A and B are shown apart, each in its own frame.
Chain A
Amino acid sequence: MSPLDLALRQELLALQDAYISTLDTDALEQWPDMFVEDCLYEIIPKENVDQGLPAPVIYCDSKKMLRDRVVSLRHANIFQPVVYRHFISGLSVQSAETDEVAMQSSYLVINTSQLGQSVVYQTGRYHDVVLRTADGWRFKSKRAIYDTSRIQTALAIPI
């Protein structure tokens, strides 16, 4: 792997770390800022993707919709406190141009309840397209394609 490839890989890993930090530290207000304005964010079961079917759990086609989700979670929706810990592995780069990269990685989300029980809440694979912007790398598209098709109780906080 060339030094350039390694540098890019470090940048992409740093972007992913920054992304999961917004979710794992309850910094939801910063979560939309990981995306460009004209973006796609989707959580969809693998069983639908495998069949070429579109039904999602969350589907946002603009940064506005991401901010709406945060406002709703903060002010409208009622749910048990969520404590996520995201673990990402297996980064693979599908295509890399100077300012646009397509990549995939596996993720694991452990959720811990108020009673102190930690469970595997969701596993899946991120399919990302990221753009180099003036503010650094940002997500143009992020699809969380999950294996854990049976969602336990509810899904409030994004993945």
Chain B
Amino acid sequence: MKDTDGAPAFATSIRLAAFSREDGSRVPYGVFTSQAIYEREQERIFRGPTWSFLGLEAEIKAPGDFKSTFIGDTPVVVTRTEDGGLAAWVNRCAHRGAMVCRQLRGNASSHACVYHQWRYNLEGDLFGVPFLRGLNGQAGMPADFDRKAHGLRKLRVESYAGLVFASFSETVEPLADYIGPVMGGYIDRIFHKPVEYLGCTRQFSNSNWKLYLENVKDPYHASLLHLFHTTFNIFRVGMKAHCVTDEGHGLHSIIMAIKQDEGETSTAYKDQKIRSFDSGFTLEDDSILALIPEYEVLATNHIQPIFPQLVIQQIHNTLVARQLLPKGPNAFELVFHFFGYEDDDAEMRKLRIKQANLVGPAGYISMEDTEATELVQQGVARDASVSSVIDMARDAPAQSDTLITEKLIRSFWAGYQKLMAFDDAGVGEV
């Protein structure tokens, strides 16, 4: 990943964030609460050398189809162009700054700001300015006014396997290189044939967006926080696992839990008297836990964050592209984009909808996640310089076949430190 331009200098001499170790195993809590760090993230991450997930190509299939969304907290619009390509631009009129597109979704052949009806084509070029030449001999825009110089702020847009990303950066590598071959392979696993968009659900959490990234890089919590797994015997710590990061900056990762017979692992739970083992319950309708084989590797869970705004998820047969949007230092929003395959039969489609019960804000195996991230946000409110302890499996960096590890989280924080470059210009108020 290439670097961005220098960050703005801050007036005070206090370091923005002091990571006591470069390996990401100690994280000062201030990164979850500081407004100054949040501002720096918007510049160095969301407007920096990264690609942010905006949606599925399947959401905007026809020319003119558009969707309003965000990169970080900047409102953007992504749209299908007349020639079938993709365009994205900042949703801010070049005239006086009003949001141009006021709908979440729709179809339009051009976009006009309602304030003074400046009109833009799908690529974001300005073509209509009312009273450009004035009226009845009265002056209009000055002679040196050039419409070409006043288009919407255009973004780079690329898609990978039907996932649409955009970037503010002129220097970031092409999307496929940014994702990398290892992560690309896992994306191809899910996006190996055309998908159909099935709708979205939205969830708002009063906690920092990076707490959610920690969560989706944390297989250690899965069977301990989410008791549904173990209560109904779905998921075991001893399941065969893959936990790997991309080969570059280490900010992307995947957790896969691969199905195998239970047995000794449930004994291990009983022996350790972990609260989450309870064999007394069975589901009356266990079709919710069906796993119809669709892929070469039969995994119950595929959780793959592509930094900074995407988490690809396959849990049993339910498929989601989660979009993670920061909303200030103390809040984030998740948009769960459900999808299936175009060639799903009725039975498979019904199963995907039924298994939506597992995930999202009411999900049997996910409703606790935002609870946990909010508990952290509340717990760290006044302790910016105290650090978390992220040590699980720290002595075994090569180990990737276990779920009892925090190495993906460490890798994330190591990459985050580099991207944020707190040492270079990171002075300011914590």
Contacts and interface: CB of A to CB of B under 8 A. Distances in A.
22 contacts: A47-B199, A55-B199, A55-B200, A55-B201, A57-B356, A65-B284, A72-B231, A72-B364, A75-B231, A76-B227, A76-B364, A77-B364, A77-B367, A79-B368, A150-B203, A150-B204, A151-B201, A151-B204, A152-B204, A153-B203, A154-B203, A154-B361
A136 to B, nearest CB: 24
Interface string A140-157: 000000000111111110
Interface string A62-90: 10110111011001111110000000000
Contacts of A65: 284-285, 288, 357
Contacts of B353: 54-56, 59
A58 interface: yes
A153 B206 contact: yes
Nearest to A49: B199
Contacts of B169: none
Given A43-B362, A68-B284, A76-B228, 8 more contacts: A47-B199, A57-B201, A60-B357, A64-B285, A65-B285, A72-B231, A77-B228, A77-B367
Interface string B326-366: 00000001001010000000000100011011001110100
Given A61-B354, A77-B227, A156-B367, A51 B285 contact: no
B362 A57 contact: yes
Contacts of B197: 53
B292 interface: no
B401 interface: no
Contacts of A76: 227-228, 231-232, 281, 364
A53 B199 contact: yes
Nearest to B337: A55
Nearest to A80: B371
A45 interface: yes
A53 B198 contact: yes
A56 B359 CA distance: 10
Contacts of A48: 199-201
Residue among A55, A69, A80 having the largest count of chain B Cβ atoms under 10 Å: A55
Contact of A154 (B228, B231, B349, B362): B362
B205 interface: yes
Contact of A150 (B199, B333, B356, B357): B333
Contacts of B336: 55
A151 B201 CA distance: 8
A64 B371 CA distance: 27
A75 B278 contact: yes
Nearest to A43: B362
A17 B95 CA distance: 54
B143 interface: no
Contacts of B364: 72, 76-77
Contacts of A64: 284-285
A54 B201 contact: no
Residue among A43, A54, A62, A79 having the largest count of chain B Cβ atoms under 10 Å: A54
B225 interface: yes
Interface residues of A, number: 36
B371 A79 contact: yes
Given A53-B197, A55-B199, A68-B284, A78 B231 contact: no
B376 to A, nearest CB: 13
B367 to A, nearest CB: 4
A59 B357 contact: yes
B79 interface: no
Interface in B195-243: 197-206, 225, 227-228, 231-232
A94 B225 CA distance: 44
A78 B362 contact: no
A151 B199 contact: no
B205 A153 contact: yes
B253 interface: no
Given A152-B204, A153-B204, A58 B357 contact: yes
B398 interface: no
A47 B204 contact: no
A81 B248 CA distance: 43
A55 B204 contact: no
A4 B37 CA distance: 66
Given A56-B353, A58-B362, A65-B288, A153 B374 contact: yes
A72 B363 CA distance: 11
Given A58-B362, A154-B362, A149 B227 contact: no
Interface string A107-142: 000000000000000000000000000000000000
Interface in A24-61: 43, 45, 47-48, 51, 53-61
Closest 8 CB pairs of A and B: A55-B199, A53-B199, A48-B199, A64-B284, A55-B338, A155-B362, A76-B231, A151-B361
A34 to B, nearest CB: 17
Contacts of B368: 77-79, 154
Contacts of B370: 153-154
